[in-house]
Structure 1
Amino acid sequence: MPASFDAVHIGARVVVRWRLDPPGDAEAGTPSMTDSVGELVARTEHDVTVATREGDVVISRTRIVAAKEIPPRPSRRGAPHLAISVADLQRVMGPSWGALEREALGEWELRASRGFTQRGNSVLPMGDPGLPLSAAVDRVEAWYAARGLPARMSLSGPTAFEPADDPVGAELLSRGWTVGVRTLSLTTTTDTVADADPGGPDVRMSEELDDVWLEAYGQTRAVVPVAVAGVLEGSPRQLFGSIALGGGLAQQLGLGTPGLRDPRPVAIGRLGIAQGWAGLGAVWTDPALRGRGLAAHLTSRLAATARADGIRLMHLQVEADNATAIRLYERLGFQRHSGYVYLTNGPTT
């Protein structure tokens, strides 16, 4: 597993290879190890519990040989990136973007990050909150009020669904919550995106967030300094990609002299890796260099890096009215899976 098992969210689907005790006898044809596949339901300092088809399996950490997150089971026939249900895709996407606080309300997840990003400050209402709906919404409103934040929910469905047709959406609308811009969830395979690479300059990859990448990210949106690093580094694993003017790009574009070593990124992107999927986000290109294929090349290189690490599926979220970005992603092979909207208990800004 690329990240510590402690970084894997409870509820993720995993496969764990572990040593049997007593070990088997190879000459007698009995195994010395076994695999447990299922949902990670608990962990302690000493062991983990995986809910398999045969029941819960408690595995001592000292016996674990290898482990990794794997995608949820498909809910219908078709390509794996489209066969996943809307709810399962939302569960996959949730940990691919960080949050400073996460708290469970039944099967709902409440997230807060001092107001930095809507995803980092919203409820993922999947399943049963463990309370009557009205009481659950009361709890949500109080939880965010205690943090000085507006309550917000990410409500998902088919690409053209109406929030009022969803029981949660109807409850929120009856309370005066407002509906924000519709967002599309696009999915594909890492093979598809990696193979669509138009080519381009060197791409720097790092699992660590550094000041140079973060400075470029600050050009894409207003950041909350006390929250930004925690959110960007808050996935089980993340990968930061960038293209800088140095390393030959400036000469290619006729913007610099030979030997230029300018480390400042002119294009960036991030993958948040969770539950066997790679989630693309934070894609940005310097406005002066747009239309030159840098975003497509960077995205393809990120996909190729994830593929080399055994990740086969990708997702991203893009606002439904961002036609330029949608064209880019669809050229790379992404397809429309579902959508979501944010509902907020106050004016949207």
Structure 2
Amino acid sequence: MPSVPTPFDAVHIGARVVVRSRLAPAGEAPHDGPSMTDTVGTLVARDATRVVVATRHGDVSIHLDRIVAAKEIPPRPSRRGAAHLAPTVSDLQRISGPSWGALEREHLGDWELRASAGYTQRGNSVLPGGDPGIPLTDAVDAIERWYAVRGLPARVQLGGPIGFDPAGDPLGAELLRRNWSVGSLTLCLTAPTERIASADPGGADVIVSADAGPEWLEAHATTRSGAGTPAAVAVITGSPRHLFGQIRPGGGLSQKLGLRDADAAGTTPIALARLGIAHGWAGLGAVWTHPAYRGRGHAAHLTARLAAAAREDGIHLMHLQVEADNATALALYERLGFDQHSSYVYLTAPGGN
């Protein structure tokens, strides 16, 4: 069972976990029967000496010196069917939330408010899963104030079934009543990691690491406006766990490609992708290929190799988000084996576009 760092540094309170532990202190043999046990449930507490896991049979306190291995696992399915399609829309929103970092995260009841100095809509919007704990109109007032203090437009990532109408959602209706605008229709895709790994078309060597590294971050800084800022780095490296993938070019590249000497020497990546790992799922993002190398299958190969690495680490489910009008990317992911699960839109307060 692949482990996470003890004492659960990479796992947040509320995550579903499995913990393998000794039944007797280290160096002592149990009196009878097995020497170890697995505890499955929700991580509800931790301190310098123990963790507490809430199981179906009650809370279990486990001393850290008895833990052999531990890992985060997906939430219990809400619906029947294939595991990657079983989560409800709100469940998948909650599962995927930590896979994209944010400089600030603050909770309003079950809602999560995220701010990242304006870098990406996901990093600067509310994830409204569940009950805000106060009346809806008061909750919207609160998030408008929260973003105003940070000099950011108030924005909500509102999820629903594919093709849903935001006006049919109570929160969506309230935001529309306040003249918030709707945009950026995005599809949520999911798949088993085994399926994606098996679809690998093959290709160049892929480097996979747990840390981004300077070369990965330097290449990513060229992919979009603001991608080289400290806020962007914090977003990219802000998930509980990560896998970063890259493909580097071979030597002897033609100068007509417009690459620097370092690129021609094979030290600067020509293709990137990232997995943010949380809740036992791997979220694919930051997929990019240098324009001179597009159309050669690098993105598909890189995605499949990251899926294989996640599978080897005990992660069996994947998700990603793709804008609904990005036909090229959507065709790529569906060809690899991703299924459409749900969708979301961003609603933005007046003056925020």
One fold, TM greater than 0.5?
A: yes
Report the 3-state secondary structure (helix = DSSP H, G, I; strand = E; otherwise coil) of the residue aligned with 1:169: helix
Alignment match, 1:158: 161
Q: Percent of aligned pairs with the same residue?
A: 65
1:307 pairs with 2:307 = no
Alignment of 1:104-183 (within 5 A): 104-183=107-186
CA deviation map 1:282-333 (0-9, x unaligned)? 0011122211111111111111111111111110000011000000000000
Report the 3-state secondary structure (helix = DSSP H, G, I; strand = E; otherwise coil) of the residue aligned with 1:330: helix
Alignment of 1:208-219 (within 5 A): 208-219=211-222
1:189 pairs with 2:177 = no
Stretch of structure 1 that moved more, 46-55 or 109-118? 46-55
1:319 pairs with 2:323 = yes
1:97 pairs with 2:115 = no
2:189 and 2:320 in contact (8 A); partners too: yes
Letter in 2 for 1:33: M
2:25 and 2:65 in contact (8 A); partners too: no
Shift of 1:255: 11
2:344 to 336, 340, 345: 340
Alpha-carbon separation, structure 2, partners of 1:135 and 1:49: 35
Letter in 2 for 1:28: D
- Change in Cα spacing, 1:247 to 1:71, as seen in structure 2 (3 Å) is farther
1:190 and 1:306 in contact (8 A); partners too: yes
Alignment match, 1:283: 287
Alignment match, 2:237: 233
1:241 and 1:298 in contact (8 A); partners too: yes
Alignment match, 1:2: 4
TM-score in terms of structure 1 length: 0.91
Alpha-carbon separation, structure 1, partners of 2:10 and 2:286: 21
Runs (5+) with no aligned partner, structure 1: none
Alignment match, 1:294: 298
1:14 pairs with 2:17 = yes
Report the 3-state secondary structure (helix = DSSP H, G, I; strand = E; otherwise coil) of the residue aligned with 2:84: helix
1:3 and 1:236 in contact (8 A); partners too: no
Alpha-carbon separation, structure 2, partners of 1:283 and 1:101: 24
CA deviation map 1:245-297 (0-9, x unaligned)? 1269x59xx999xxx63211111100111111111000011122211111111
Alpha-carbon separation, structure 2, partners of 1:2 and 1:246: 35
1:236 and 1:274 in contact (8 A); partners too: yes
1:37 to 28, 40, 47: 40
Alpha-carbon separation, structure 2, partners of 1:216 and 1:179: 32
Alpha-carbon separation, structure 2, partners of 1:308 and 1:16: 18
Alpha-carbon separation, structure 2, partners of 1:329 and 1:168: 31
Report the 3-state secondary structure (helix = DSSP H, G, I; strand = E; otherwise coil) of the residue aligned with 2:239: coil
Say what the alpha-carbon RMSD is for the aligned residues.
Answer: 2.2
Shift of 1:70: 0.4
1:270 and 1:280 in contact (8 A); partners too: yes
1:196 and 1:300 in contact (8 A); partners too: yes
Shift of 1:198: 0.8
Report the 3-state secondary structure (helix = DSSP H, G, I; strand = E; otherwise coil) of the residue aligned with 2:69: strand
1:268 pairs with 2:272 = yes
- Change in Cα spacing, 1:266 to 1:22, as seen in structure 2 (3 Å) is closer
Alpha-carbon separation, structure 2, partners of 1:8 and 1:19: 21
Alpha-carbon separation, structure 2, partners of 1:39 and 1:157: 26
Letter in 1 for 2:90: A
Alpha-carbon separation, structure 1, partners of 2:347 and 2:297: 35
Alignment match, 2:206: 203
Shift of 1:26: 5.3
1:245 to 234, 249, 264: 249
Shift of 1:347: 4.3
Report the 3-state secondary structure (helix = DSSP H, G, I; strand = E; otherwise coil) of the residue aligned with 1:89: helix
1:75 to 66, 75, 78: 78
Report the 3-state secondary structure (helix = DSSP H, G, I; strand = E; otherwise coil) of the residue aligned with 1:137: helix
Letter in 2 for 1:206: S
Alignment match, 1:221: 224
Letter in 2 for 1:338: S
Alpha-carbon separation, structure 1, partners of 2:49 and 2:251: 47
Stretch of structure 1 that moved more, 125-134 or 38-47? 38-47
TM-score in terms of structure 2 length: 0.90
- Change in Cα spacing, 1:43 to 1:146, as seen in structure 2 (3 Å) is farther
Alpha-carbon separation, structure 1, partners of 2:250 and 2:25: 57
2:24 and 2:30 in contact (8 A); partners too: no
Alignment match, 2:49: 46
Shift of 1:227: 0.8
How many residue pairs match? The answer is 342
